[in-house]
Amino acid sequence: MLNALFGSEARARILNLFLLHPEQKYYLQQVARDLNLQINSVRRELENMVKFEILNTDKTGPAEEKHETKSQRKYFSVNQNFILYPEIKALFIKAQILSSQKFLHGLQKICQPKFLALTGLFTNFPEAQTDILIVGLVRRPAFLKLIKELEKDLGREINYTILTDKEFLYRSEIMDIFLYTILQGKTIVLLDTLNNPAKHK
């Protein structure tokens, strides 16, 4: 969907990278390597985005790279003051959730989750430390195949967490910080038969 809207797969994937990591700075080779794209294609798209003012550019990189002698390296970051920045970022987040629908339909064919939630990159909530939380028995080989397909659609790695219902309930009872952060944060709960079983009958 985003490929058609923004004209090319490379452009959509590059925008996705910057919009979901607004505080991060990237250099040309890093973007090409991380997204597995041709460097000439990345260079062209980055230059166009700078002209369009959706990206900023400077020669000051992340703090951990200051010791490097690559003074001529150019870094790019998203321009959060761009007039359409909030709308474009919201569009990309919604598109990611829509892209996950194929994954969700496939997941229901290989297991019957008792709890299913999207968080992390899907809701722009890195504090969650995971992107998908599933409670239930899952057929691992089929699940990993679905994850790879979803990663290909989104152009990035997906972090997931699978818990048994006993693990989920135990962690809930002891207010496990990992689970508490997810449940109390920016999370889209798609299914919950553990806390409200009658609701899904």
Establish whether domains 2-83 and 96-200 are of one fold: no
In this structure, which topology does domain 2-83 adopt according to CATH? Arc Repressor Mutant, subunit A (1.10.10)
**Residues contacting 105, CB < 8 A, separation 6+:** none
- Predicted local distance difference test score (pLDDT) of residue 159: 93
Q: pLDDT of 14-47, one tens digit each?
A: 988 898 788 889 999 999 998 889 999 999 999 9
All structural domains of the chain with their residue ranges: 2-83, 96-200
**Residues contacting 169, CB < 8 A, separation 6+:** 194
Distance CA 185, CA 162 (A): 18
Note the pTM of the prediction, 2 decimals.
0.61
* Beta strands 75-78; 55-58: pairing state: antiparallel
Domain at 96-200: CATH code: 3.30.460
Does residue 196 carry a pLDDT above 60? Answer: no
Q: pLDDT of 63-77, one tens digit each?
A: 555 555 455 689 999
**Residues contacting 20, CB < 8 A, separation 6+:** 92, 93, 121, 124, 156
- Predicted local distance difference test score (pLDDT) of residue 20: 76
